[in-house]
Structure 1
């Protein structure tokens, strides 16, 4: 554990496991408050729930008023949609469903890969308001878990728990300033590591093709322009100031190289490619095993 002796609060939320560590045990009231935040986020953004807010967009055209965090999420997705030339998109949900990653978790493709609809053709995202001109399946999984970690961290600080550590199934948020050393999971063998990294105040998030894989070589990182899984990159890691940005950029690295993203974002990164080589920023130098 990154902080021996701390108390730990573990739970499941938005389809993954969470652990929040604090120097002293969280009160029952604080725990209930955190779980309520997770539930509110899931009720707004989950494409796996028929009663979620975004589920309305999948049923019919219309106008959605989403929680305040939608504004930052939309701005980030808009930037990365532009930088990846449409490959990274919040409209990837229909493409995932086509390949079997649907609400029933059938994990059986129902046809050939389906490109996502072009954002500019079907969706207007202004602040916390989304207007869709046709039914669309919105999926913000590339940044949503990170944003929820940031929201929970802010809630902990407001509740008097300035010191804490959040582990969202391997995506980590450390308000710092004490550095934490963690292992970087091998993209082909989760029991092994390819290196270690120390990070202080900020977030460390990863994306890997092996985390959600099924059928004959399918995984959850799809290119929105083709609807097919990315084959050139197998894993990525990002250190950034917020978990939302780190989470999103870890996915963006599957489509755009690190130096291109560095022109618009302040972060450190490592990308592992399917041909066996890796590229990384100076913040990751010395962390990889030989």
Structure 2
């Protein structure tokens, strides 16, 4: 943006944020953004011993429902149904068992499936969030997207120009279009395409982020199938675009499983995903420009119909 101030960059919730606006944000607005992020983290982070979900996880019981509980857990319930249980908000202990724990020990203790009856164990109605017994809630399937939406809402109350909120690759854009590169999951120096985003959110997930070696030498990562407690092995990366970042983040998670494309269609979300054997798939009507390798070399092809292409 010509004449724009330097982006506001900071670290929070385990990732780097970059907020770009046409005008320098007043101190009061920055303080409000920081306070909202900290409030969300103190409520939902399973990495903080002082968070609400950590306290609930240690003893179970009932607490007043946080403001974000209903929209996030309702969406997680829809993800769980669409993926036949592969997504599960009680996946926290499964991640801990593989080493992705509060201490980030990366010490693999073996796969631990999440409880399949989570809907009987966890409730969020009548202003209460309750667990019938200790368990670790993890909202990582869509939580960062939800927080991007909340931060964008604060900025839009005071900013009328172009706004970009980028939380480690999960981002929302308002104003002029932004061309976003789709990073190749096996080579961060390359992109598999470019997506022009206008007044929308783009969220992504990939197996090369938050990965570590297992006890037997295989590579583990943070995208688990809750039914087995094991990392997914067929999908390498996903991208989703829609109006709200929470919904885009949720669909980016769902796309690692068979039910993801159907849910994306029901929710009106455009998407791209790459399989671990190098094929690229996309949704009908998707406007991403994908880089396709042919016998004559690389070319750009508009993703205009459901298909898959070798990379």
- TM bucket, shorter chain: over 0.9
Match of 1:186?
184
In the TM superposition, what whole-angstrom CA distance separates every residue of 1:5-24 from its partner, at most 9, and x where no partner exists?
Answer: 43311111111110111001
| Alpha-carbon shift at residue 34 of structure 1 (Å) | 0.8
| Alpha-carbon shift at residue 64 of structure 1 (Å) | 2.1
* CA RMSD, Structure 1 to Structure 2 (Å): 1.5
Q: If you compute each CA radius of gyration, which structure gives the higher value, 1 or 2? A: 2
Match of 1:44?
43
In the TM superposition, what whole-angstrom CA distance separates every residue of 1:255-279 from its partner, at most 9, and x where no partner exists?
Answer: 1355411342111001111121111
**Aligned CA distance change for structure 1 residues 164 and 134 (closer, same or farther; 3 Å):** same
Instruction: Name the structure with the higher strand share.
Output: 2
- Indicate which of 272, 275, 278 corresponds to 1:273: 275
Mapping for residues 189-200 of structure 1, pairs under 5 Å:
189-200=187-198
Question: Structure 1 stretches of 5 or more lacking a match?
Answer: none
1:24 and 2:23 aligned:
yes
**Aligned CA distance change for structure 1 residues 286 and 197 (closer, same or farther; 3 Å):** closer
The DSSP-based 3-state class of the residue aligned with 2:187 is: coil
**Aligned CA distance change for structure 1 residues 34 and 94 (closer, same or farther; 3 Å):** same
1:229 and 2:231 aligned:
yes
In the TM superposition, what whole-angstrom CA distance separates every residue of 1:233-288 from its partner, at most 9, and x where no partner exists?
Answer: 00000001100010111011001355411342111001111121111013435611
| Alpha-carbon shift at residue 66 of structure 1 (Å) | 3.2
The DSSP-based 3-state class of the residue aligned with 1:126 is: coil
Asked if 2 retains the 8 angstrom alpha-carbon contact of 1:113 and 1:228, the reply is yes
Rounded to whole Å, the distance in 2 between the matches of 1:128 and 1:161 is 34
TM-score (norm 2): 0.88
Asked if 2 retains the 8 angstrom alpha-carbon contact of 1:22 and 1:161, the reply is no
Asked if 2 retains the 8 angstrom alpha-carbon contact of 1:146 and 1:245, the reply is yes
Q: Report how many aligned residue pairs link the two structures.
A: 286
Q: Which runs of 4+ in 1 moved over 4 A?
A: none
TM-score (norm 1): 0.94
The DSSP-based 3-state class of the residue aligned with 1:282 is: coil
Question: Structure 2 stretches of 5 or more lacking a match?
Answer: 293-311
